[in-house]
Structure 1
Amino acid sequence: MPTVEQSVEIALPPKDVWEYIAVAENWPNWENSMVECKQITDGPMGVGSRWHGVSRILGKRLEWTSEFTEYDPPRSSKSTSVESPVSFSQTTTCEEVGDGTRVTYRLDSESGLGGVFGKMADPIVTKAFSRTVRVSLENLADILVHAE
């Protein structure tokens, strides 16, 4: 099971970071592979909420729907794909560190991120996506710190 995990520290409290990342429509602003994202269930975010989005990985468009299976603001959330060409789960955590927050983004893929490209591509796609996630988290930090 390929895993991509990256972290960044942001000079804001977890509550402030969480308020931004808990809004589906904010994700394309900072997550480089995400073309669009929206919450498709009514009501406040929580377990059972669903997001629908489109990501672009190595030029390939991937449409997906995920459902939150864990939701513990402002500490962590986990969502699992319910409709996607690649089965995945995504976990985001916000941990208080010093005067700020360590945000960790983790993606676990059962079939491998390269599944849509072919199994042989798994290591290449995973490495490329890991770099994309790292840059995306740095974008998140820049957006949030400059918004203050």
Structure 2
Amino acid sequence: MVNVERVMVVRRPLAEVVAYLEDFARTEEWDPGTVRCVRLDDGPVRRGARWRNTSRFRGRTTELRYELVVREPTRLVFVGENSTVTARDDLRFAEEGAATRLTYRASLRFKGLARLAAPFLRGEFERLADGVVTRLPEAAEAWRS
């Protein structure tokens, strides 16, 4: 398993940051690995909402189906899966004055033979997480609800 964690401050109120991030389709704006992310169901975002995320990693394109499994006022958890990996994005929010402190945790559990590659991929996932720290606050601060 590969785990990465980053903490960042977004200069917007907590409720606005949660509203921005609860739509996983917006990963196109802040996740450097995401090429495309499309909502698979309709209506307001709620627990059980689903997305198809296409990512590029080490020159290869892969697709995961994500679901919003936890939707709380200060926490969002998305779980994505395909035949080789289960990914979990756990986002926790805390007020920090007029801004929001966001703790972003990504966990990847590889399946089958892909498990053998996990230790060698950690550095690449760390670099992607560094990209999230650069892009996410800027994208959330620019978003207009």
Same fold (TM over 0.5): yes
Q: Which runs of 5+ in 2 are unaligned?
A: none
Q: State which drifts further: 76-85 or 126-135.
A: 76-85
CA deviation profile, 1:14-40 (whole Å, cap 9, x unmatched): 112122212233211111000011211
Which residue does the alignment assign to 2:118?
122
Which residue does the alignment assign to 1:133?
129
- 1:6 and 1:130 in contact (8 A); partners too: no
C-alpha separation between the residues in 1 aligned to 2:121 and 2:12? 32
TM-score with structure 2 setting the length: 0.84
C-alpha separation between the residues in 1 aligned to 2:67 and 2:25? 16
C-alpha separation between the residues in 2 aligned to 1:33 and 1:84? 18
* Regions of 4+ moved over 6 Å: none
Identity %: 24
1:84: how far off? 4.5
User: How many residues were matched structurally?
Assistant: 143
- 1:31 and 1:137 in contact (8 A); partners too: no
- The 1:69/1:132 distance shift into structure 2, 3 A limit, reads same
Q: Which runs of 5+ in 1 are unaligned?
A: none
Which residue does the alignment assign to 1:94?
93
CA RMSD of aligned residues (A): 2.2
Q: Is 2:23 the partner of 1:23?
A: yes
